[in-house]
Amino acid sequence: MLSHKLNSGINGEAIIPGDKSISHRSVIIPSISNGICEVDNILKSDDVMHTINAFISMGIKIEEYKKKIIIHGKGLHGLKKPLTEIYLGNSGTSARLLIGLLASQNFKSILTGDESLSSRPMQRISEPLMQMGGKIKTTNNSLPIYIDGNELNSSDINIDIPSAQIKSGLLLAALKTKGITKIIENNITRDHTEIMLEAFNANIKSRKDDKIKIITIEGNKEMTSKNIDVPSDLSSSSFFIVAALINKNSKLDLKNININPTRNGILLALKKMGARINLYNERYKNNEVICDIEVLSSELNGCELDSEMAKLMIDEYPILSVAACFANSPSIFRGLNELRVKESDRLNLIYLNLQKCGVKCKIDGDDLFIYPEINYKIQDQIIKTDFDHRIAMAFTIMASKIGSLKISESECINTSFPTFINEFKKTGGIIS
């Protein structure tokens, strides 16, 4: 895919698909609840389809009706042993959440993925599950993973890694575990799982104590399905927000965007940089905070973000780095170690590709330094993505300012935003 420089700004309204994190949970939680759930605005990306197919393989009836999917839940004890291994493609969310859920079932299962997913660390979820009595065998701490489902023991578990996926996997395991499981989260992470479990009448409670969150869940309580309207994804919105900010004569509108305070770091960071972003019509949908967003072309300032900010927006650093290239002063983003274990080594890819684009930058430990001194003579570079959707989209936006770039393996965008190219073209982007 080639992305070219814009002749004019980003304008109009971009239709942003459903939130990816919530979409995964909108399949998993209704499948193990009692009753029928209608899910509207679910993200129909490759990653979410792998989650849907996983539950179909375990005996859950999931059908499509008009623009909704209908899930016929079978309760906590309704899943059946899949006839074959469960293939999850490139979806780390699917893998880590399902490892937790399957550890407490009464059957064996095998999880596999593509080359990228099979290189990602899974001991971070398998080890606390084994602390609960789970029988899990990884392949060099990665996929394929062999799970011998059994009755787990309620436990007190400390989570030091800032990961909503680990927390969610443990919560799903605790749902079918007798007694009370306590999860101590030492870094606040996105809380979509807790919100949805509470809405579905799980026996879950949480409280915050400074930077620590303590979650207790009493297992073996059946849940009741409710219909879900998935809000639009802030992470996907961020590419269009930055495109509008850095391109002159832009005025962009985004509707129904999820601004959950555990993941709104990209908005906080961009506003710190002087971005003209207006949030309005704030409201609640399925206990999630949503709003509409107006974005105007802006003169951005560089900024320094500490490692605490990384916990609120780790997925958005590729596109934030693009924004920093067009600020009027340098930026420093600290504590980006988690970027090294995403779909790719994102920290290294950001650095390598910014250099290809003529941007002066450096990595020092886990900190990224960006100096907005661009050599605009560098064009027609091939952007290395390692099949990482966020790298591909971020450098598509980069090209809207500096000129033609070839985005390798651009089909990876389908893992999270299948309509990205069409929406970008609709608002003024030029892609061939």
Angstrom distance (rounded) from CA 318 to CA 371: 15
380: pLDDT strictly greater than 90? no
Say yes or no to pLDDT of 331 above 80: yes
How sure is the predictor about 394, in pLDDT bands with cuts at 50, 70 and 90? very high
In the numeric block, which tokens belong to residue 313? 């927006």
Contact 296, 249 (CB under 8 A): no
Closest CA to 177 of 117, 116, 219, 119: 219
The answer, yes or no, to whether residue 241 has pLDDT greater than 80, is yes
pTM of the model: 0.93
Across 347-370, average pLDDT? 95
Select which of 46, 315, 367, 386 is catalytic: 315
Whether the Cβ atoms of residue 374 and residue 399 lie closer than 8 Å to each other? no
**By percentage, how much of the chain surpasses pLDDT 70?**
99
Residue 432 has pLDDT above 80, yes or no: no
In the chain, domain spans: 2-18+231-431, 20-229
Q: Does the structure show a pLDDT above 70 at 403?
A: yes
315 is catalytic: yes
| Dihedral class, residue 250 (left if φ above 0, else alpha if ψ from -120 to 50, else beta) | beta
Kindly indicate the confidence band of residue 334, based on its pLDDT and cuts at 50, 70 and 90.
very high
182 neighbors 140 (Cβ within 8 angstroms): no
Euclidean distance between the first and the last CA atom of the chain, given in angstroms as a whole number: 6
3 state DSSP class of 379: coil
The pLDDT tens digits of the residues spanning 364-374 come to 999 999 999 88
Quote the pLDDT of residue 377.
67
| pLDDT tens-place string over residues 198-225 | 999 999 999 988 779 999 999 999 999 9
Listed range (47-51, 272-276, 337-341) with the worst mean pLDDT: 337-341
* Average pLDDT over the chain, rounded to an integer: 94
Same fold, 2-18+231-431 and 20-229: yes
Homologous superfamily in CATH for domain 2-18+231-431 = Enolpyruvate transferase domain (3.65.10.10)
CATH architecture entry for 20-229:
Alpha-beta prism (3.65)
Coil, strand or helix at 25: helix
Distance CA 156, CA 96 (A): 19
Helix, strand, coil percentages, rounded to 5, for the chain: 35, 30, 35
| Between 309 and 113, the higher pLDDT residue | 113
Position 378 pLDDT exceeds 70:
no
- State which amino acid sits at residue 288: E
Q: Is the pLDDT of residue 419 over 90?
A: yes
d(CA 57, CA 68): 20
Q: Residue 20 pLDDT more than 80?
A: yes
Q: Considering the chain, what percentage of its residues have pLDDT values greater than 90?
A: 85
pLDDT, position 256: 97
Residue 250 has pLDDT above 80, yes or no: yes
Question: Alpha helix locations (H) across 82-205?
Answer: 92-103, 123-131, 164-174, 192-199
